[in-house]
Amino acid sequence: MSYDRSVTRLDEHTSAAPSPLLEHAYANDRARVFHSWSVQGALDPTVIVGASGSTFWDPEGNEWIDFSSMLVNMNLGHQHPKMIQAIKDQADVLCMVAPPFANDQRSEAGRLIVEKANRDGAGGHFEKVFFTNAGAEAVENAVRLAKGYTGRMKVLSAYRSYHGGTALSVGLTGEPRRLENEPSVPGLVKFWGPYPYRSAFHSSSPEEETERALQHLRDTIVMEGTDKVAAIIIEPVVGTNGILVPPPGYLEGVRSLCDEFGIVWIADEVMAGFGRAGQWFAWQNWGAQPDLICFAKGVNSGYVPLGGVVISSEIAHAYDNRMFPGGLTYSGHPLGCATAVASIAIFEEEGVLAHARHLGDDIVGPALRDMAERHRSVGEVRGLGVFWAVELVTDPATREPAPPATVGAVVAECKRNGMWPLSAGNRIHVVPPCNTPDDVARDGLAILDAALSVADDAMS
């Protein structure tokens, strides 16, 4: 094992014996596994047998740099030894405890997460955590908390958003995947958020985009009834739908509108939280704080399923003398919470937040901006930390999005050369683990740089 600064780095394949089930893994998958968000008959899944740090590999020894962090959740990378040990240690002590009981790992995870949510440490705006199994359940319960607290029913969410695949969360989602799931829960209202590159408000600057987007949001609140809206849910940095970094003043303006009309602001940090945007939570990059925070993914890098809601003091105490009408069998599962405790310790011991900012400021950001200058197919690059998007176009002047075939060809070229990217729409998302070593990040970026020539050629 070698080290890059203080960040744990694993460079070699693990030596574990092959699974006796491996021979039939592909056939059994195709015969018996029903996959999410997929046309089942079109699937041809790659069998993964091992991973380490920022790479993974198949049975034939083909290896890829993981520029997708699986599904933007492996913030500490694969097989971190301290994470594996935390699972083993907790499994030896207690594998399961029901939610009504207290448990050391759940209690410590709650304490640490609240501490990281509060700008000033352990005390402050946030007070408690409701644990869930994943991000969609976090969103469901955040909305439940907000409705119960306000006594109102409507919830506003943005187009170009993703909030999960359950009945309520997919209804809040503002992209086409929700359409086949409609009708959803009553009282869900959409609005347009800021996106300067493809402005819905015909803005000519980020400042104008903020002003017009906030006026549009205000108008939506007024027309829906200022006393009817319980919550506004926003991804502080929009994830799947473009890695849209908010223009200056936008989140502060959302906070002001919520304060004016008594609305709860829910920050969906499922993808952007825990280092992805260079902070514990992405909203901490700006001067406004939400009332509820939904988290999952990076809280423990998905080593064991875990999510939750960080709850402000005011909302938490609203349930001191009345029942919260929700619960989950595995809320605060000790294995999940043990890995959250271990993950936060690793972040602090190994300087992961600083490393994520370094990757964004010194390596990923500059490299992508250089690619944008040299590749005609790149309309815009944007992001922060280890959370970036490369938007592909057919014409820089008209900004016509690149078609799926072009994006697919770029993805295939990346994979062929040893880097596994994440694509969404007409974009390639650059989202490696937060502790990716500098040289591995540069190698992955070089592969992307070369693959973009495929998109350039498609414009000819």
Q: What is the pLDDT of residues 358-401, one digit of tens each?
A: 999 999 999 999 999 999 999 999 999 999 999 999 999 999 99
pLDDT band at 1 (very low <50, low <70, confident <90, very high): very low
pLDDT > 80? residue 441: yes
pLDDT > 90? residue 199: yes
Among 314, 349, 384, which residue terminates a domain?
Answer: 349
pLDDT > 60? residue 319: yes
Classify residue 323 by burial, with Cβ atoms within 10 Å: 0-12, 13-18, 19+.
exposed
pLDDT > 80? residue 142: yes
Q: Which residue range is the domain that position 401 belongs to?
A: 2-79+351-458
Domain count, the chain: 2
116-134 average pLDDT score: 88
The pLDDT score that the predictor gives to residue 247 is: 98
**What CATH number corresponds to the domain at position 416?**
3.90.1150.10
**% of the chain exceeding 70 in pLDDT:** 95
291-314 average pLDDT score: 98
Residue 360 shares a structural domain with residue 453:
yes
Break the chain down into helix, strand, coil percent, rounded to 5. Answer: 40, 20, 40
Half-sphere exposure of 101 (CA within 13 A, CB side): 11
pTM to 2 decimal places: 0.95
183-201 average pLDDT score: 96
pLDDT band at 119 (very low <50, low <70, confident <90, very high): confident
190-207 average pLDDT score: 97
Residue 270 shares a structural domain with residue 381:
no
The pLDDT score that the predictor gives to residue 19 is: 86
Over residues 280-290, the pLDDT tens digits come to 999 999 999 99
The pLDDT score that the predictor gives to residue 3 is: 29
The pLDDT score that the predictor gives to residue 17 is: 74
Average pLDDT, the chain: 95
Please list, in sequence order, all residues whose beta carbon lies within 8 angstroms of the beta carbon of residue 140, skipping any fewer than 6 positions away: 132, 164, 166, 168, 169, 326
Residue 169 shares a structural domain with residue 271:
yes
E runs forming strands in 142-228: 154-158, 188-191
**What CATH number corresponds to the domain at position 181?**
3.40.640.10
Among 325, 349, 373, which residue terminates a domain?
Answer: 349
State the Cα–Cα distance between residues 66 and 57, nearest whole angstrom. Answer: 10
* CB-based contact 38:75 (threshold 8 Å): no
DSSP-based three-state secondary structure for 395: strand
* CB-based contact 158:188 (threshold 8 Å): no
Residue 74 shares a structural domain with residue 91:
no
DSSP-based three-state secondary structure for 11: coil
CA 344 distance to own-chain centroid: 17
Cis geometry, peptide bond prior to residue 186 (ω within 30 degrees of 0): no
Residue 333 shares a structural domain with residue 305:
yes
The pLDDT score that the predictor gives to residue 18 is: 79
Half-sphere exposure of 324 (CA within 13 A, CB side): 18
State the Cα–Cα distance between residues 196 and 245, nearest whole angstrom. Answer: 10
Over residues 37-76, the pLDDT tens digits come to 999 999 999 999 999 999 999 999 999 999 999 999 999 9
* CB-based contact 193:160 (threshold 8 Å): yes
pLDDT band at 2 (very low <50, low <70, confident <90, very high): very low
Please list, in sequence order, all residues whose beta carbon lies within 8 angstroms of the beta carbon of residue 398, skipping any fewer than 6 positions away: none
Residue that the structure tokens 């017009």 belong to: 212
